[in-house]
Amino acid sequence: MTRDIYITEVALRDGSHAISHQYTVEQVRKVAKALNDAGVPYIEISHGDGLAGSSLQYGLSRTNEMELIEAAVTVADRSKIAVLLLPGIGTVKELKEAAKLGAKMARIATHVTEADVALQHIHAAKDLGMETVGFLMMAHMAPIEKLVEQAKLMESYGADTVYVVDSAGYLLPDQVAERIRALKQSIGVNVGFHGHNNLSLAMANTLAAIKEGATRIDGSVRCLGAGAGNTQTEVLVAVLDRMGIKTGVDLYKMMDLAEDIIAPILQTPQEITRDSLTLGYAGVYSSFALHAKRAAAKFGIDSRDILIELGKRKVVGGQEDMIVDVAAEIAKSKAISI
């Protein structure tokens, strides 16, 4: 079937944040099989912070991610398995291991101003025969001209697609449209969009991206993703179907997956809580929510104060160690003021 939009399901990677990286082999196998049977083109699997992300700083995985990748590959005869890699966390070694297990797409993620660190990883992915995506995270933190410059770098390295990534769920629809339009006018490869729902704008932002020409779109079934989750995949499929846009994804099967398989996995319902709302409001990396909540409990302060301060300091993914430092500073300041 010819598709207008190619969806990558990220619940088995981005959703790892929401369940503290506790996926089991059986859960991944069951979800991946259902996604495959529903006709989802790409299924992303790894630690929430990408290959080799399991650590004290980012959160320890219950199961080795390579076991999860292998489990998904064994049940996916229609879908391609994708992995995320953040240079500086994951290395070419892990990428090669994932490819050997059967992963077919590599999504190389960098901060929006640091595309140059992706060169060797994109080259390696191409050498491994993988479809390769450049993933420009925290896209709200750079002027459009800088975003275009970085997208051109990723294209020059060999990326087949370049994504605008709204990691904080901070962007408004017109801001997404501006960024996608600029990329469509400036690069010759596919353009994608990855949104978060912290301001309840993931769907609106995704539709704005599609209107401007984005053809690669991320979604998370039942909103299972960091913060308030991502664009909800089964809802996206329904909306695009009503718009006459082809995805090749079976809507009923996605509904059943969301209700019968994903809902029981969720530790709490994916909704816009005060913490996830603060993430979007302050422009803070969505995976910081649980870390900030734990730090707030440890120091007896409000997690929102931590998140707002992190936003002021323009902290980005990879600086999770700053969360405890900021919490300690806030607690000390409050103690002095008393």
Please list, in sequence order, all residues whose beta carbon lies within 8 angstroms of the beta carbon of residue 94, skipping any fewer than 6 positions away.
Answer: 51, 52, 85
Q: Distance between alpha carbon 41 and the CA centroid of its chain, in Å?
A: 16
The CATH number of the domain covering residues in 287-337: 1.10.8.60
**Nearest Cα to 167, choosing from 228, 101, 92?**
228
pLDDT at res. 338:
60
pLDDT at res. 42:
98
Instruction: Mark whether 291 is an active-site residue.
Output: no
Contact 307, 275 (CB under 8 A): yes
d(CA 202, CA 229): 9
pLDDT at res. 320:
82
Which residues participate in the annotated binding site for Mn(2+)? 14, 194, 196
For the chain, the structural domain boundaries read: 6-265, 287-337
d(CA 170, CA 141): 10
Contact 283, 170 (CB under 8 A): yes
d(CA 12, CA 67): 13
The residue type of 260 is D
pTM, rounded to two decimals:
0.93
**Nearest Cα to 103, choosing from 163, 30, 13, 18?**
13
The secondary structure of residue 154, as a DSSP letter, is: H
Strand, coil or helix: 193? strand
pLDDT at res. 318:
74
Which residues participate in the annotated binding site for substrate? 13-14, 167, 194, 285
Strand, coil or helix: 177? helix
What is the number of alpha carbons within 13 Å of residue 120 lying toward its C-beta?
A: 10
pLDDT at res. 9:
98
Which residues participate in the annotated binding site? 13-14, 167, 194, 196, 285
pLDDT at res. 337:
67
User: Domain 6-265, what architecture?
Assistant: Alpha-Beta Barrel (3.20)
- Does an H or E element contain 246, and which? none
Q: Report pLDDT digits (tens) over 22-80.
A: 999 999 999 999 999 999 999 999 999 999 998 877 778 999 999 999 999 999 999 99
Ranges in the chain, pLDDT < 50: none
The secondary structure of residue 259, as a DSSP letter, is: I
pLDDT at res. 336:
78
In degrees rounded to 5, what are phi and psi of residue 194? -125, 120
Instruction: Out of 17, 21, 121, 140, pick the active-site residue.
Output: 17
The residue type of 94 is E
